[in-house]
Amino acid sequence: MGQTLGRENQFVVDILTTLRQEHFSPPGWWRFLRRSWEMSRRTAHDNPGLKRSWALVTVFVGILAVAMLLANFFFEGPGRTFYILPGFMFCVVWQQSDLFWHLGLNRSVQSGTLLPTIGMANTLTWLRGLGASYLLARIVGGVGTPSWLALIVFLGGVATDILDGQVARFTRTQSKLGQIGDSEADFCLYLALSIILMQNNTLPLWLGLVMLLRFCLPLVAATASYFLFAQPVRFGSTIWGKYAGLAQCLYFLVLLAPPQFAHVAQVVNLPLLLVTLILLFVAPLAQFIENVRERK
């Protein structure tokens, strides 16, 4: 198993190195994508149980996506649903293709063994991604999103964010796939919510950009490290990062609160904003210090 994992890691390093040597030219990108796809297909072919699990998750997500479109058709009519449809279909197809592409990362973080199924934890993460896809599709389609609808999707995202980690630890199915999927789902969800809140004049533009930096900076750094140096930069959770995430989550809940809670929201808005901004500054600094210590 260790030799197999080592060969796969070396293969990834080799194709990334080749891409860099070709100066990220269009032919280089084509060869990179083709070889990466071949690696994903090989993983699926060699592990039929994992491939079948991916297919079941894809069918499940597809059924939920259709149900969401039907509900949208019933409550908002065919016109708005038509505007949402292309973006939503693109996001869902991309999401499930991304899952297939990264099947080789479905390895236990404890032993490095390839897990036989996608698992409940990863399924919960991909459901959060589905909710984010719905909100992004509304934005791309030019369909306004009321705060109550954004709140429902956000609460579902918070629930799955809590449950997927707990389920992964309980079932001992923590994986690199889950870590990457969790980061991608969070980024897409908070991106959509930030844009919606700015569209609804609830969140100032500068503050929305600051909120997004919490997810953009690690994403840019990890991507640059991956493609430019063919080695990952660690962006795991720190205690400060968890506090920052909690504060940001609470602040979004305050902004999305129904009118019945407007008085409470006004009281806690400014103090919670100050705490959130401070933690958003401290969290990446703590992560940087931890990375420096690990490299020493």
Q: Tokens 């210090």 map to which residue?
A: 289
CA–CA distances in Å: residue 158 to residues 155, 249, 287 = 5, 8, 23
Give the pLDDT confidence score for residue 27 in this predicted structure. 78
Q: What is the mean pLDDT of the chain?
A: 84
Band of pLDDT at residue 5, cut at 50, 70 and 90: very low
Give the pLDDT confidence score for residue 179 in this predicted structure. 84
Pick 266 or 58 by higher pLDDT: 58
Residues 222/236, Cβ–Cβ less than 8 Å:
no
Residues 142/136, Cβ–Cβ less than 8 Å:
no
**pLDDT value at 230 more than 90:** no
Q: Tokens 């890691």 map to which residue?
A: 9
Give the pLDDT confidence score for residue 40 in this predicted structure. 84
Mean pLDDT of 286-294: 67
Q: What is d(CA 112, CA 108) in angstroms, rounded to the nearest whole number?
A: 5
Joined together, the tokens standing for residue 135 give 């909100």
Q: What is d(CA 211, CA 194) in angstroms, rounded to the nearest whole number?
A: 8
Of 9-13, 45-49, 240-244, which range is least confident?
A: 9-13
Kindly report the pTM of this predicted structure. 0.85
What is the CB-side half-sphere exposure of residue 138 using CA atoms within 13 A?
A: 24
**pLDDT value at 188 more than 50:** yes
Closest CA relative to residue 210, chosen from 158, 131, 278: 278
